[in-house]
Chain A
Amino acid sequence: MKKIIAMLLALAMAFGLVACGGAEAPAATEAPAADAPAAEAPAAADFKVGAVYINSKNDTAGYTFAHHNGITTAMKELGLDPATQLVIVDEVPEDKEQVLSAIDTLVGEGANIIFGISFGYIDAMEEAAAEYTDVIFSHGTGYKSNETNFNNYFGRAYQARYLAGIAAGMKSLEMGNNNIGYVAAYGTEYAETASGINGFALGVQAVNPNATVFVKNLGAWADEVNESAFAVELIDSFGCGVISQHCDSAQPQIAAENAGVFGCGYNSDMTPDAPKAHLTAAIWNWNVYYRTAMEAAMNCGTADKFVETMGTPAYYGGLAEGFVDVSPLSENCAAGTAEAIEAVKALIISGEWDVFSGTKLEIAADGTVTKVDAPLVDNAGNEIVAAGGASVEDGVITGTMNYFVAGVQEA
């Protein structure tokens, strides 16, 4: 048995030697390349995209699917072939060692830019960016970055939520039911969920000032059983006529359909899941960011110029960039919804107005929009923004939005 252990040790050491050889050889070949004129960015044909996913790359719905779809769409738009130029390590849990190992694999495959889509990858991404300075690292939903090869990206989902809220408000007026339900992954613990709920509720109130948004907190980002059960509870016990959601599956929409009420989905157009209930969904067009990032990566020369080329270490797109939007309005929407949404969308895109400001919108039944100065107040009565004040950040990065606005009630 000592023989076997000796062999194992010898093996490990032999690999060590092989590894040294392997590590030094390319360094020697790289040196002259660096001397070559201005170290060109890889040509499109040599450009490799790497990605670390939290779920399977073959998913057909949900968060990972949305990102994978965004990456492959962006690659096709740029003439890159996902079959040969995209390397992915999927089903990577939020474990630093496992993320670092996945990144090593992708760097070993020659990836020029590596996207990590889950928040908990944050420390591994930061460390890898410092180690592999010739590779670009881009972290979704994170807040860390450096000045050279590491940025983060996320977006103003609350703007899309506001638009979906308008559709829900219109429907509530039509139904004569002021109770609106919201199945949320979390409540005020995360600014991401709180800002989504607040954006939605303000959209609802712009149309129907008497409406109340009842929030059920799942305590998990994905939990299909309770996503359905909570929606049913909101409909049965709280009498909600419209069900909105911040969770992974379409279960709340399906529950709404079964109960003969209406709903607003999230992440992707959920009209096919609940054709008789779904109004519109707040959606992410991840390909908008991925395309921007890949273009910057291909054009920035060397990896350390990436953040400079992007112009900011934290990409935070909204309606204006087309990064978030609402899915096409279904036939279930009340009359005037389309006009109202178009008008508000134009206000946001132009930068004239934003959701969390001291100016609120009043939307008439025919879709005309009026601006009125009014303070932004939380549901405990504290003033967040004075009447006429500028919009506050949604705080997804900084966590500052840890309250619900007036009109939101925990159910």
Chain B
Amino acid sequence: MGFHIVKRDNCPLWKKCCLYLGAVVLALLLGAVLLISLGVDPIAYYTRMFTMGTVGNKIAYKVWINYLKELVPLALVSVALSLAFKMRFWNIGGEGQFILGAISAAFVAFKAGGVLPNGVTLLLMCLAAMITAGLYGLFVAALKVKFGTNETLMTLMLNYVALYILVFLGEAKADWNFFLDAESARPVFASFAKIVSFPGIPMGGKFTLNICVILTVLIGILVYVYLRFTKHGYEISVVGDSAGTAHYAGMKVNRIVLRTVFLSAALIGLAAAFKVGTAGILSTAITDDVGWTGIIVAWLSQLNTAVIFAVSALICVLHYGSTVAAATFAQVDSSFANMLQGVILFLVLAADFYTRFKIVSDKKGGN
């Protein structure tokens, strides 16, 4: 008696969809049991969650604006991570790269905002964030290439270095610290929203579409093309499959690793610039965990750029919807909402396992 785990070669799309859907339904049923045990009507709860409270909401346009604000960084970070992941470079440092990007973008906003034209400042913010975050990623890639260090550990630990730099800036009340509001006796980040911020495109009514949404979609398309149709993209996938093969084929593996990791981290920095340029202020919670969630999204999407957009859109519905639903049910706090999200993600990941592998009993295997 025993089991074998066997790789599944081709899981048909319909089967994949059924497995994923099954996982979500199972998670919702589990959640329903928990909700009932708390005395909450699960149907009412889920309705609110999946409509994100837009029904009967006189400021429903706000829901969509806030929803897109969550979606943009998540989608862009996931796309960026997929670049590195495709090469099997496990960049767990999305949080840290995002934070350094955010600090650099804010730095430019404070220094150049109001001095240079708005468009130029925004462009400089993006560039600064991309370069800083890119270099932060490049540092780890260089160590890996040069000394063979483990990039998972390195990027992970550098997250905390970045976080504490940000916390320090948020707490160090001093004359040099222009990141803080000079008027407040207690340290609090200063806002530059009135000086410089990404413009929104009026879509009629009160809804405005932030330009970052369009830019993010454009970047998604570019990355798709880059991975699919360019020599660089081809090199990335060869290195990902086997560095040895790539080397044998005459590819400069080290250069490819350095280049791709820089690009991956730089795009994360860009996501941070979009976020900071929209919020107009720093905060120690600026990442909203996109560096982590992005990993899940990239993985669930199997590194397919188009699927990343769909998956991050769904994850944001889950995330935003949970918060909204929890607001009206006294028994349900956001910890519960987080747990429910966790259950759904966990089961979807389990379903994902079954799309890649199957379990075969030894008897059947013929041994």
Contact = CB atoms under 8 A, between A and B. Distances in A.
Contact of A20 (B207, B278, B306): B207
Given A5-B306, A58-B333, A12 B213 contact: yes
A90 B322 CA distance: 11
A185 to B, nearest CB: 12
Interface residues of A, number: 58
Contact of A399 (B66, B185, B206, B220): B185
A97 interface: yes
A15 B64 contact: yes
Q: Please indicate which of the listed interface residues A13, A18, A105, A189 has the most CB atoms of chain B within 10 Å of its own CB.
A: A105
B203 interface: yes
Given A26-B58, A56-B335, A105 B53 contact: yes
Contacts of B181: 123
Interface string B189-219: 0010000000000011111010001000100
Interface residues of B, number: 56
Contacts of B17: none
A98 B286 CA distance: 9
B69 A101 contact: yes
A13 B202 CA distance: 11
Contacts of A91: 333-335
A87 interface: yes
A354 to B, nearest CB: 21
A18 B188 contact: no
A82 B330 CA distance: 8
B57 interface: yes
B207 A4 contact: no
B150 interface: no
Interface in B233-290: 275, 278-281, 283-286, 288
B60 A108 contact: yes
A23 B224 CA distance: 37
A406 interface: no
Given A17-B204, A22-B58, A94-B283, A108 B186 contact: no
A117 to B, nearest CB: 15
B327 interface: yes
A58 B69 CA distance: 28
Contact of A16 (B207, B284, B286, B323): B207
B62 A93 contact: no
A88 B329 CA distance: 9
Contacts of B224: 1
B58 A108 contact: yes
A18 B328 CA distance: 23
14 contacts: A4-B306, A5-B306, A23-B58, A56-B334, A95-B288, A97-B275, A97-B283, A100-B66, A101-B66, A102-B323, A105-B323, A107-B59, A109-B53, A119-B188
Interface of B: 53-54, 57-64, 66, 68-69, 173, 181, 184-186, 188, 191, 203-207, 209, 213, 217, 220-221, 224, 275, 278-281, 283-286, 288, 305-306, 309-310, 313, 323-324, 326-328, 330-331, 333-335
